[in-house]
A = this chain, B = another copy of it.
Amino acid sequence: MDHTRFFDKKSESLTLQQIVDITGAKPFTDVDLNVKISDISTLEKATSSEISFFSSGQYFEQFQKSQAGFCLVDEKSASKAPQGMTVLVHKNPYFAYSQIVNSFYKVKDIEFDGTKLIHGSAKIGEGTKIAPNAYVGKNVTIGKNCFIGPNASIMDNCVIGDNCIINANVVISFAVIGNNCGFLNGAKIGQDGFGFAHNAGVNHKILQLGIVEIGNDVEIGANSCVDRGAIENTIIRDGAKIDNLVQIAHNVIIGKGTVMAGCSAVAGSTKIGNYVQVGGGCSISGHISIGDGARIAGMSGVMRDIEPMQIMAGIPVQPIRDWHKINSKLVALIKKSDKNN
């Protein structure tokens, strides 16, 4: 993780013994409990000194290929770990992970600068206009020729490029934003992703360690929400245009030039390619992939991967030709039945 702009690392490293003490996990084989673990990471990115977790079959391939030195795993998967990985067995690896995150990291404290609305440490570029009651937090950097509207809140440590328009009542937090972006009234960027580990009847909040990265020429609509990532970042690439009341969950990637119409929602960790068109009111499930140039009709329910350039519709989503056929069939079916009655 390299999010020291937004998060404080509480411990340089933790020993395996400390991890065991914090989580109650048990080493699957005999190991030196004094070995030091430097950080947490994903199965894909973790190095030999880092710890990760494996809790969903969907990520079995990443688990088997992982270079992670240490991994929280449930009992039945322990024996399937790749060579060289020190396995820590826990009946709820996701919950154990949530405990370790809090031992490695914390969100930086927000510090107000007395009654000042623009923190003394903020850097504001030439030509940037800020409304009299906008709030700009500590260590914020805003580029040239931006507009920050009334009642907008730019929270600590955010970076905003040149020529950006942050309209009224927008909130920007935990975000690094490029040039020429527009945020319509009330858009909310960078809040916690919706991550909870359920354990013993309690939904434990998981510290969301990622941020939001937004490229150039992006527009985010009124009252739309972009959550920050859980471990990896939520990313919206150059030229993407997001309409009003759209929900972008943690770890989602939205490709270049992709357009999403109003009231659509993308669940966590889904990757949407470049120049995709998403109609209004669609729900897109988590942990799936939508290929470049795909087009999804309004009010579709996308519960599976979509290949590039496909045109899809329906709930559950299918090729639009098939969806039209099914609807015709159904109408024919009841007409026939009406005649028979």
Question: How many monomers of this chain does the complex have?
Answer: 3
Flag if B334 contacts A330 (CB, 8 Å).
no
Measured in the bound complex, the distance between the Cα atoms of B325 and A5 in whole Å is: 50
Known A-B contacts A227-B222, A325-B334, A334-B329; A167 and B185 likewise in contact (beta carbons under 8 Å):
no
Q: Which of A110, A112, A133, A217 has the largest number of chain B CB atoms within 10 A?
A: A133
Give chain A interface residues in 294-341, CB to chain B under 8 Å: 298-299, 301, 303, 315-316, 318, 322, 325-327, 329-331, 333-334, 337-338
Question: Cβ of A190: which chain B residues have Cβ within 8 Å of it?
Answer: 185
Question: Cβ of A225: which chain B residues have Cβ within 8 Å of it?
Answer: 185-186, 221-223, 244-245, 262
Known A-B contacts A129-B110, A241-B196; A249 and B263 likewise in contact (beta carbons under 8 Å):
no
Number of interface residues of A (CB under 8 A): 83
Question: Cβ of A192: which chain B residues have Cβ within 8 Å of it?
Answer: 182, 184
Give chain A interface residues in 274-295, CB to chain B under 8 Å: 275, 280-281, 283, 285
Flag if B244 contacts A262 (CB, 8 Å).
no
Question: Cβ of A262: which chain B residues have Cβ within 8 Å of it?
Answer: 194, 225, 247, 249, 265, 267
A248 to chain B, nearest CB (A): 9
A237 to chain B, nearest CB (A): 12
Q: Which of A168, A219, A330 has the largest number of chain B CB atoms within 10 A?
A: A168
Q: Does A155 belong to the interface (CB within 8 Å)?
A: yes
Give chain A interface residues in 231-287, CB to chain B under 8 Å: 239, 241, 243-245, 247, 249, 257, 259, 261-263, 265, 267, 275, 280-281, 283, 285
Flag if B132 contacts A151 (CB, 8 Å).
no
Interface pairs (8), CB distance under 8 Å:
A171-B185, A184-B191, A188-B223, A201-B257, A221-B225, A227-B244, A245-B265, A330-B330
